[in-house]
């Protein structure tokens, strides 16, 4: 089921005792492993039972379903927020009480501190009672710090787990919804949007859960602190609190701005990820048509818009952080100035109680409260976006599968259906027919007639506007474009069914896969990539067919299953698969359809007798070569087939849930390699210099130092002022004394100057840091994009789409959002720490004694921690790719999954990928808790040492010194561990940068342009010469073309045929240099390897077998570079018989196409791609099975047009339909990558031993027709 070892480690947390849980001892074995070697996925502990994706998802889904029901009753919109609150409020509220207690201990600390400073002020060596009391206060202070440390980490651990659970549950719901989306809903969303929901939107839950409680804890704590301040210094405290209130009001307004920016950014990110996703999927088309530069421009401009919004929200964040940095200092300043103006006297003990009380507010009110506002406002937008997605239409079971009754399989009465509610023309109109057990129904008709739509209606994908569809029995479906899962060939065929060797071998034989599997190294255990590499299109089609046949269903719906295979194989498939599966006496019925209306119906022989010309719609068939019950059965029908068969199994079996017969679907998505060791200095250097040059970076460093110096001098200055105030209070000096007044005024002026510079430098530093880092993210994204587009095609075959998208969505998201914030926070805290320690040591030199060992312990702890934490973070990044890859793969094969009723199995695979990611995520949370707990406990010991040390050495100290050092020590407790944690977090986040930089350094294909440019008129003749050419897709791969030699004359029309997998499409890959060929290929005397790839590729036009269209208008799809006039575009469409269809669309040429062009049929998409090739008007045209999904009559008209229009060009036609190559002057037959024979069609047909003759053995009539045509 999963790409992890079978012996998953049970989570030691389940058996851990109270102390082990409190101090996270149970993680120690993992740290030991991480210290010795790189962590592997097998080292991770299994996810806790209560955190399983399935369990969490189903729980939240239940609440959401109730909410949807309630909303429907009350005729309101359902609220996802309500469902989330109902699901999680109990556990969340309980942990909220911890925050309350934790912040309570913070407020008590200053009281103990004040009592200790009072003792120093009133110091009397003879009073032992006062000394004992002071020791009691010191002990109380130490206990407070220790209790705070324990509560803080308990709270954070549990709250982050709630966030994780919510995220996992919502992801489960998003994927579940994606599997159920109706066809009309699929048009309203895109793969890019769903990936963005799963990567960036759900991330808000992790963040918001952590800070949400501070929305009430912050203000409550502010009220308590105000009361305590009033008791200490009277009403002057109100001035300081006024600063805080103004700030909180400002931040509430900023919160609204955050939410509007977030929704705009998210929409732009959706667009960018969708475009990148389309780019990866259509990379071959982009490379063949030389569109890389226009895609770079398109995505870069989308990114520029996105960055402008991100920069604005980053500046707001910068202001938030700057206010956190400076606000306590402003509050203290305003309070003491007011106090001075009111002529109140104050003691040193009171000065430092006020300072520590304001410091206590610092985290909860000035950091966590604005963060909570920001996160809540962004989370509301994300919840809204997710709710909109969850509210999209689902596929309704418009006709439940009925138990098979032996009488009838499919019964359609007066069926009319539309694609989309807006369309006026019905896709299918007034269709009625029945299919009984054992019957074969062939549906034929021109391109866009509605053949695939009919199958969609039978599958329930197309909702009916009138009529009835009844389906009795189970369905197996083969889509027109073959879909394969990442996994082995065998797992693709079994598709969750039990392996039955005899049946399996029968299926392989029936689907003509034996020869192909022998060519693969590991036969049917060969792993297939996401795009089906290393299989050819024909092989993928037969694997899809084999999957359907192995399902052993009652009804088979085959959508153009033979289009990608050659005549011989299609005959074999028809006889061995289709005919053999019918099993009972049967007759075939053919219907001719045009524009969704039945034109004719009857058996094949009836058509022949009545002289109706369906010859042009059918490839000509003849009587069976073996005696068959009904001689009228057509042999090759290259259009949709509906086949129903009498099943010997109990008929209700398929409708009941299948028991015993199924097992898990095997999806193999290999984990990508990850780097090891620490993130190097080079990564940091590249990251910073990407955003600004050295002069700006040096300026930033200087601003940082200036901000810090002014900040710390303020504390230092306060100590002098406090001593002076104490002297006044106790009458040591008099206020009337001019010298004293001068000194006090001088103190206040400097103090004001320091406060103002602290604020200014703080803001400058914040904004500048964000500016540089967000710019770095933009530069890196653009470099990644360009490098990925310059990578060879092999890179895209080897890397699943989810893996590449992960870097462009999640990793870039981290660089945009989290990294600049965490980095600035770290720099601020780190400099603060150095300043604080410097001031402490300067004030009381002996504090250096505990500080030095403390720093050494912290340094080694951090190093030990990072060895493990880094690997866990890298595993978290790589396990996340699997979730995206599985999603992208499922969306491509949605119809097949639904037809096979495999939604539940795919949901289970998704949940298992989520669980694997949760394992890594949970360890990431726990490792940082482990570090934080130990750091805070060590800090608590440090506070104890300093507090008792101050009491022992009380005779040598002034109250100002004691107050300063103790208040700074308390500041240190949270700050020390926060700094070490943030530094570790920065390094963990830098892994996203490292992964981005890794993608700026990929292996490149040959340069796009060389200094030597081919002449503009080249190639003027179109002469192609292959000389001993060998070709393989990768250095270590097998040869797919061997020793190929051939000469193609100028303006020659050359046909290339061979069975599927013979290497025909590889010939195109070699011409376009998707991988560098050995030997030589010359075009008009110039070696293809001597010119740049763009110069080579833009001089050849190719119409590929797999049609690729992009979101955008029809016009943009035909001519993305705007090089042609409207008239030329219409002419090209006319040549491929599409002009009428496009003229009937509501927006004509400006009609918007859905993602991948899903609002056109596959045949129509092929024709658009052919029109694209025709527009380029090159001397060499390659048609690679480009009309395989088009009906024969349209195909014949197109071939005729191409012959006329391209008479002066060299045309290479690769085909399975032999009628496509009979107008060619020469034909080459390939087999297993080598050339078997070349000759004129007539000569090859005369030679009964030739491979070409054998391939064309579709009966005497066909050969006669071919021979006649080729004369």
Query: How does 906-935 read in b/e, with b if 16+ C-beta sit within 10 Å?
Result: bbbbbbbbbbbbbbbbbbbbbbbbbbbbbb
pLDDT at residue 172, rounded to an integer: 93
Q: How many CB atoms lie within 10 A of CB 797?
A: 19
pTM exceeds 0.85: no
pLDDT at residue 646, rounded to an integer: 37
Q: 801, 361 in Cβ contact below 8 A?
A: no
> Which DSSP helix (H) or strand (E) runs through 1113?
strand 1112-1113
Residues linked to residue 1153 through DSSP beta bridges, in sequence order: 1112
pLDDT at residue 915, rounded to an integer: 92
Q: What ranges in 651-693 are assigned the alpha helix state H?
A: 681-691
Closest to 309 in 3D by CA, of 764, 992, 774: 774
pLDDT at residue 645, rounded to an integer: 41
Sign of torsion over alpha carbons 623, 442, 1165, 532: negative
Q: How many CB atoms lie within 10 A of CB 1238?
A: 16
pLDDT in tens, 198-220: 877 888 888 888 888 888 888 88
pLDDT at residue 273, rounded to an integer: 86
Angle, nearest 10°, between helix axes 53-73 and 903-952? 110
Q: How many CB atoms lie within 10 A of CB 402?
A: 14
Closest to 894 in 3D by CA, of 281, 170, 177, 385: 177
Q: How many CB atoms lie within 10 A of CB 173?
A: 21
Does a cis peptide bond (omega within 30 degrees of 0) precede residue 435? no
Q: How many CB atoms lie within 10 A of CB 25?
A: 15
pLDDT lower than 70: segments of the chain: 1-8, 397-408, 420-424, 580-600, 604, 607-677, 726, 729-737, 739-740, 1257-1271
Please give the structure tokens belonging to residue 148. Answer: 């705070």
The dihedral over CA atoms of 739, 742, 744, 750, expressed in degrees to the nearest 10, equals -140
Does a cis peptide bond (omega within 30 degrees of 0) precede residue 534? yes
What is the chain's alpha carbon radius of gyration, rounded to the nearest angstrom? Answer: 37
Distance CA 100, CA 209 (A): 15
E strands present in 487-634 = 487-488, 527-528, 555-558, 588-594, 597-602
Distance CA 434, CA 436 (A): 7
SS3 1195: helix
């Amino acid at each position: 089921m999963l790409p992890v070892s079978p012996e998953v480690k049970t989570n030691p947390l389940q058996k851990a005792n109270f102390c082990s849980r409190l101090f996270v001892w149970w993680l120690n074995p993992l740290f030991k492993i991480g210290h010795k070697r790189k962590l592997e996925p097998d080292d991770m502990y299994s996810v806790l039972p209560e955190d399983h994706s399935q369990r969490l998802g189903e729980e939240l889904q239940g609440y959401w379903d109730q909410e949807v029901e309630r909303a429907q009753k009350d005729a309101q919109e359902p609220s996802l927020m309500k469902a989330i609150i109902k699901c999680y409020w109990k556990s969340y509220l309980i942990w909220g009480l911890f925050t309350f207690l934790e912040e309570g201990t913070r407020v008590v600390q200053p009281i103990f501190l004040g009592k200790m400073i009072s003792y120093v002020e009133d110091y009397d060596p003879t009073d032992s009672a006062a000394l004992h009391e002071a020791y009691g206060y010191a002990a109380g202070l130490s206990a407070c710090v220790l209790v705070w440390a324990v509560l803080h980490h308990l709270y954070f651990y549990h709250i982050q787990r709630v966030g994780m659970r919510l995220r996992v549950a919502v992801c489960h719901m998003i994927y579940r919804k994606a599997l159920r989306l109706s066809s009309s809903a699929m048009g309203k969303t895109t793969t890019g949007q769903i990936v963005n929901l799963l990567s960036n939107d759900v991330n808000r839950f992790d963040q918001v859960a952590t800070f949400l409680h501070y929305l009430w804890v912050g203000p409550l704590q502010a009220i308590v602190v105000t009361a305590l301040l009033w008791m200490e210094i009277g009403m002057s405290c109100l001035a300081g609190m006024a600063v805080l209130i103004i700030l909180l009001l400002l931040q509430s307004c900023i919160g609204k701005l955050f939410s509007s920016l977030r929704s705009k950014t998210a929409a732009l990110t959706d667009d960018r990820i969708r475009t990148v996703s389309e780019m990866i999927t259509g990379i071959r088309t982009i490379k063949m048509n030389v569109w890389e530069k226009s895609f770079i421009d398109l995505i870069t401009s989308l990114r520029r818009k996105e960055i402008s919004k991100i920069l604005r929200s980053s500046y707001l964040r910068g202001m938030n952080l700057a206010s956190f940095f400076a606000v306590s200092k402003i509050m203290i300043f305003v309070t003491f100035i007011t106090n001075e103006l009111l002529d109140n006297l104050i003691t040193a003990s009171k000065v430092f109680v006020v300072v520590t009380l304001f410091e206590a507010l610092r985290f909860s009110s000035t950091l966590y409260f604005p963060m909570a506002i920001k996160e809540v406002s962004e989370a509301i937008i994300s919840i809204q976006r997710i709710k909109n997605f969850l509210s999209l239409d689902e596929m309704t079971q418009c006709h439940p599968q009925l138990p098979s009754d032996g009488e009838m399989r499919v019964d359609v009465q007066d069926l009319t259906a539309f694609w989309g509610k807006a369309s006026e023309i019905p896709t299918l109109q007034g269709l009625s027919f029945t299919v009984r057990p054992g019957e074969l129904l062939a549906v034929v008709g021109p391109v866009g007639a509605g053949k695939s739509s009919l199958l969609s209606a039978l599958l329930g994908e197309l909702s009916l506007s009138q009529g009835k569809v009844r389906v009795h029995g189970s369905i197996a479906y083969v889509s027109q474009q073959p879909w394969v899962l990442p996994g082995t060939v065998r797992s693709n065929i079994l598709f969750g069914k039990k392996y039955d060797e005899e049946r399996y071998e029968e299926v392989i034989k029936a689907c003509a896969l034996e020869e192909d599997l022998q060519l693969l190294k590991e036969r049917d255990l060969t792993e297939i990539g996401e795009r089906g590499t290393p299989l050819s299109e024909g092989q993928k089609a037969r694997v899809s067919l084999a999957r359907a046949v192995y399902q052993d269903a009652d009804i088979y719906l085959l959508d153009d299953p033979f289009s990608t295979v050659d005549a011989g194989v299609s005959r074999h498939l028809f006889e061995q698969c289709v005919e053999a599966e019918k099993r009972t006496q049967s007759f075939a019925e053919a219907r001719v359809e045009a524009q969704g209306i039945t034109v004719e119906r009857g058996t094949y022989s009836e058509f022949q007798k009545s002289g109706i010309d369906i010859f042009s719609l059918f490839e000509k068939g003849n009587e069976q070569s073996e005696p068959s019950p009904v001689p009228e059965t057509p042999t090759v029908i290259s259009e949709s087939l509906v086949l129903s068969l009498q099943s010997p199994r109990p008929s209700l079996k398929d409708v009941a849930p299948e028991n015993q017969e199924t097992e898990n679907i095997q999806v193999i998505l290999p984990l990508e390699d990850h780097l090891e060791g620490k993130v190097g200095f080079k990564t940091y250097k590249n990251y910073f210099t990407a955003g600004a040059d050295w002069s700006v970076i040096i300026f930033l460093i200087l601003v940082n130092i200036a901000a810090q110096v002014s900040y710390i001098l303020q504390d230092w200055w306060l100590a002098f002022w406090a001593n002076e105030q104490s002297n006044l209070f106790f009458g040591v000096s008099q206020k009337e004394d001019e010298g004293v007044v001068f000194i006090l005024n001088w103190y206040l002026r400097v103090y004001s100057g320091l406060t103002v510079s602290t604020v200014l430098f703080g803001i400058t530093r914040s904004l500048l840091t964000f500016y540089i880092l967000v710019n770095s993210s933009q530069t890196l994204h653009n470099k990644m994009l360009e490098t990925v587009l310059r990578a060879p095609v092999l890179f895209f075959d080897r890397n699943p789409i989810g893996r590449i998208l992960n870097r462009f969505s999640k990793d870039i998201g981290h660089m945009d959002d989290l990294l600049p914030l965490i980095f600035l926070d770290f720099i601020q805290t780190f400099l603060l720490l150095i300043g604080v320690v410097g001031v402490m040591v300067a004030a009381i030199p002996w504090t250096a004694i505990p500080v030095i060992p403390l720093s050494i312990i912290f340094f080694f702890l951090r190093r030990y921690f990072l060895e493990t934490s880094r690997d866990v973070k890298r595993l978290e990044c790589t396990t996340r790719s699997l979730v995206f890859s599985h999603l992208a793969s499922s969306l491509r094969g949605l119809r097949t999954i639904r037809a096979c009723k495999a939604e539940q199995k795919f949901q289970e695979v998704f949940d298992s990928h989520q669980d694997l990611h949760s394992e890594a995520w949970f360890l990431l949370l726990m490792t940082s808790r482990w570090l934080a707990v130990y750091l805070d406990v060590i800090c608590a010991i440090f506070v104890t040492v300093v507090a008792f040390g101050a009491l022992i050495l009380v005779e040598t100290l002034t109250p100002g010194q004691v107050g300063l050092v103790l208040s700074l020590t308390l500041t240190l407790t949270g700050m020390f561990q926060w700094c070490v944690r943030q530094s570790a977090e920065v390094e963990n986040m830098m892994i996203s940068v490292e992964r981005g930089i890794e993608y700026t350094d990929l292996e490149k294909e040959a340069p796009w342009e060389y200094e030597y440019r081919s002449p503009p008129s080249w190639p003027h003749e179109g002469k192609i010469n292959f000389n001993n050419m060998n070709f393989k897709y990768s250095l270590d791969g097998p040869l797919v073309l061997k020793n190929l030699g051939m000469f193609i004359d100028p303006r020659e029309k050359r046909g290339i045929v061979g069975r599927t997998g013979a290497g025909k499409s590889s010939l195109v890959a070699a011409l376009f240099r998707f991988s560098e060929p050995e030997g030589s290929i010359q075009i008009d005397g110039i070696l293809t390897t001597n010119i740049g790839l763009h110069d080579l590729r833009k001089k050849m036009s190719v119409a590929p077998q797999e049609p690729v269209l992009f979101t955008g208008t029809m016009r943009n799809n035909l001519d993305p570079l705007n090089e042609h006039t409207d008239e030329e575009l219409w002419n090209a469409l006319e040549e491929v018989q599409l002009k009428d269809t496009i003229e009937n669309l509501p927006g004509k040429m400006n009609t918007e196409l859905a993602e991948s062009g899903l609002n056109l049929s596959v045949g129509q998409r092929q024709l658009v791609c052919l029109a694209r090739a025709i527009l380029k008007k090159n001397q060499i045209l390659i048609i690679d099975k480009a009309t395989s999904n088009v009906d024969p009559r349209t195909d014949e008209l197109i071939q005729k047009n191409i012959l006329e229009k391209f008479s002066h060009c060299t045309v290479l036609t690769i085909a399975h339909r032999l009628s496509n190559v009979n107008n060619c002057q020469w034909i080459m037959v390939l087999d297993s990558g080598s050339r078997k024979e070349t000759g004129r069609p007539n000569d090859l047909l005369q030679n009964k031993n030739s491979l070409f003759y054998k391939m064309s053995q579709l009966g005497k009539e066909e050969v006669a027709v071919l021979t006649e045509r080729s004369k």
